[in-house]
Amino acid sequence: MSPPNVEIDPAVLASAAGQTVVITGAAGGIGAATAALFSENGANVVIADLAFARATAEKLITTLAYPDKAIFVPADILNWADMKNLFKEAVSKFGQVDVVVANAGIMETKLVLDLDAVDEKGDLLESHEAFRVIDVNIKGTLNTIRLGLHTMRNNSKGGSIVLLASTSSYFGGTSVAAYITSKHGVLGLLRSTRVAATQVGVRINAVAPFFTPTHITANYADDWAAAGLEANTPEDVARVVLQQALNPEVTGTCVLACGSIRRELETTRAALIKQWMGEDVTTLMAEAGKLFAKLGGYPLPKARE
């Protein structure tokens, strides 16, 4: 028997009206679909993407339900000055930020574990592209989280952050090493920032899309369709993003999204820990958690001189 599906509640989506959302990587794909759905439901939309995407982003704005309630702010999520400016521009234009969608991410274009990638001497080449993927997907997401929390911490009604994880945050069989590693890192960010977010009144959740036809999946989209496998559209994922962002009842959750299949993964995983790890380990982890809570958090080591 399958676990219950996460339902999309139109009333929850409609609660976007009057709120301000910042979406990174929003000029195309899932980000653009999310921007469109927020606008359709009456939100102020801040579209963030790299500077070269300006024309695409500005064209997208003209198609939104409320183009006068949307702006484009160029930002590289790895550039701290860009990101500070992004949130300041959002507050300057719309008064405050209510929702942040950390959508921006990339995948490698060459196999990181290609052992035939050698130079003229036969020495294995360093994978700079892999470092870039890990930087963008983990460091960039962390930048987005930190500035989102800082900006929303004084909101009278709190705030909300949604991370774009992936099924690759939970599974790793495709050998796309940098992407899979980075998306596991995004899941780690969800789990490790929940307490700090809750302390400042911000809910943090994630969405883990399965196959979605975007630039990243273009090379096998036809094969996927021919195989008759369940698939998303960007709009499908956008609906789950809004549900996660706007549902006041959830925090620390992650919903797998694949077309008609929408399953919550984090609370269901937690419910299986005793079965998975055994009662002794489960008890030990629970007691350790109590100790760290008593200590006021994990005691950090001193920096080495």
pLDDT of residue 218: 61
pLDDT of residue 225: 75
Positive or negative CA dihedral for 6, 231, 46, 26?
positive
Over the Cα atoms of the chain, what is R_g? 20
Distances (CA, A) of 244 to 7, 149, 197, 211: 11, 17, 15, 19
Show the CA angle centred on residue 152, arms to residues 148 and 158, nearest 5°: 125
- Domain extents for the chain? 10-271, 273-305
**Alpha carbons 245 and 64: distance in angstroms, whole number:** 19
Q: In the CATH scheme, what is the code of domain 10-271?
A: 3.40.50.720
pLDDT of residue 17: 98
- Which position has the token pair 């892999």? 130
Dihedral Cα 36, 41, 44, 50, nearest 10 deg = -20
Length of the chain: 305
pLDDT by 10-residue block (mean), the chain, 305 residues: 87 98 97 98 98 98 98 98 98 98 95 94 96 98 98 96 94 88 97 96 96 69 75 91 98 94 92 91 92 90 89
Question: Which of 95, 47, 92 lies closest to 74 in space, CA to CA?
Answer: 47
Q: Exposure pattern of 136-149 as b/e (b: 16+ CB <10 Å)? A: bbbebbbbbbebbb
Q: Which stretches within the chain are classed as H helix? A: 10-14, 29-40, 54-63, 80-94, 128-134, 141-152, 177-199, 221-226, 234-246, 266-271, 273-277, 279-294
Catalytic-role residue among 66, 179, 220, 298 = 179
Q: Does the predicted TM-score (pTM) go above 0.85? A: yes
Dihedral Cα 108, 187, 162, 216, nearest 10 deg = 20
- What single-letter amino acid sits at 156? S
Task: Answer for the pair 68, 50: CB distance below 8 angstroms, yes or no.
Answer: no
Instruction: Give Cβ neighbours of residue 76 (< 8 Å, ≥ 6 apart).
Output: 50, 51, 82
**Alpha carbons 288 and 268: distance in angstroms, whole number:** 21
Is 179 in the active site? yes
